[in-house]
Structure 1
């Protein structure tokens, strides 16, 4: 399925970007006192080292490597932009409205469509939750009623749903309202979060 192949490619680009950015951060820690902020664009990284003129051989090599990695990051960003554009079109061609949900991008929507295929094959939402690993498992102890998330299921879909849940909790969404209601009802933060994963 083309959508699945492109979703895999997009995931790979995301991993490459994270790895490249981590390497840039390690070099910036050596070149700049205190290093750089966690979320850094290629343009921001260039700005940080623009005026650096190391006098020692090690510093000069570090600066050159940082510049090379920034160029790699820029190339990856261009590929990600192109991949997202193609995925957005493919998701739209499938007639999906997933991207209308709060902060669901083309990559996440494509992964959901590609791995889930025909949603009707699950029959019920409980079967779908069991398949993707968001069905809460009973973890009761004595009189305490507790649940935890399953470690089984499709981990790629589980990751997408986890990101969706986290984003919902950061904003005033229906998911956040539901989470707050569970907390007000006596659930712990972890338990309320477990329910959000199942709800998502």
Structure 2
């Protein structure tokens, strides 16, 4: 059994020590107050957790190195500052990594450039380490949970974090409401008097909560269903914070169902064949649907999941086929 920390009030009254903690843990199990099941660390999700630990430290180290480079350029000699502060971060790091400093150790410009080159080399090495970790994470996800990334807004980073939160034994989370509480999106009543409202939960796994926040941000920017919902709730007088709280709750429900009962994404590979049979270009189809041609291309190749767009696209192609048949009969 997994035992939670003891009650704070009881701990203040009775004190705290290893024997007392052990006694209170055993007593909570005998009383039936402890029902949580510990995570199993014997499967691919544990591999995801280990890879994410290394990736997180590499990300922090790369961010620190980039900040050091920019900080040194602020007080660098005028020649270096004017040369390297103009390009973007990636271009600046690549340029610094290719430099060949020459001079003596008493020259501030030489020492500054030497240090900048070392930091840039460190950044490039950490970027390669992060890319390798991402590839390993994706390989595990493709084998263990290939359909989780089919959901809108769910990528490698989000999927791996949510799986780590659930662990190798998802049966420890008995229902969708428990999963919502686990990731910190279960609404908490905060009503008073005639005001009826709920507030955002501050509990649960904050890393999983941040992953759901990223999902909501992506959907608010690119998912038409989410955009319609945001417009509807905004017209009803809801604030952006309240709307995002509701969206995170809905996203948690959808992700939990996909983890426990995976559903494959709809097959849209026939859309391109229907379009080419009609002799219609992808630019024409994108213009009629009000989308970018690149988005239609990703949808046709199965690299993008957008059920609403796929339905609209299929309906439009069916209408074009019907019109073509009628014109042929005439």
How does the TM-score come out when normalised to structure 2?
0.52
Deviations 1:33-85 (A, max 9, x none): 69568x732x343448989x9xx944443332222111111001101111111
| Cα 1:187–1:40 shift into 2, 3 Å | same
1:150 aligns with: 201
1:30 aligns with: 75
1:40 aligns with: 89
Coordinate RMSD, CA, aligned: 2.9
Is the 2:97–2:120 contact (alpha carbons within 8 Å) kept by the matching residues of 1?
Answer: no
2:134 aligns with: 84
Matching of residue 63 in structure 1 with residue 108 in structure 2: no
| Cα 1:18–1:181 shift into 2, 3 Å | farther
Q: Which moved more, 1:170-179 or 1:188-197?
A: 170-179
Deviation (angstroms), 1:90: 0.5
Aligned equivalents of 1:14, 1:91: Cα separation in 2: 20
Deviations 1:77-115 (A, max 9, x none): 101111111111101110331222334332322222122
* Structure 1 residue ranges, 4+ long, deviating more than 6 angstroms after superposition: 48-51
- Of residues 20, 31, 50, the one that matches 1:5 is 50
| Cα 1:186–1:80 shift into 2, 3 Å | same
| Cα 1:90–1:187 shift into 2, 3 Å | same
Greater relative contact order, per chain length (Cα 8 Å cut-off, separation 6+): 1
| Cα 1:48–1:7 shift into 2, 3 Å | closer
Is the 1:133–1:154 contact (alpha carbons within 8 Å) kept by the matching residues of 2?
Answer: yes
2:152 aligns with: 102
Matching of residue 184 in structure 1 with residue 228 in structure 2: no
2:61 aligns with: 16
| Cα 1:130–1:103 shift into 2, 3 Å | closer
Q: Looking at CA atoms only, which structure, 1 or 2, has the larger radius of gyration?
A: 2
| Cα 1:7–1:50 shift into 2, 3 Å | closer
Matching of residue 165 in structure 1 with residue 216 in structure 2: yes
Count of matched residue positions in the alignment of Structure 1 and Structure 2 = 196
Aligned equivalents of 2:50, 2:63: Cα separation in 1: 20
| Cα 1:5–1:19 shift into 2, 3 Å | same
Unaligned runs of 5+ in 2: 1-45, 252-330
Unaligned runs of 5+ in 1: none
Aligned equivalents of 1:73, 1:49: Cα separation in 2: 9
Q: Which moved more, 1:4-13 or 1:28-37?
A: 28-37
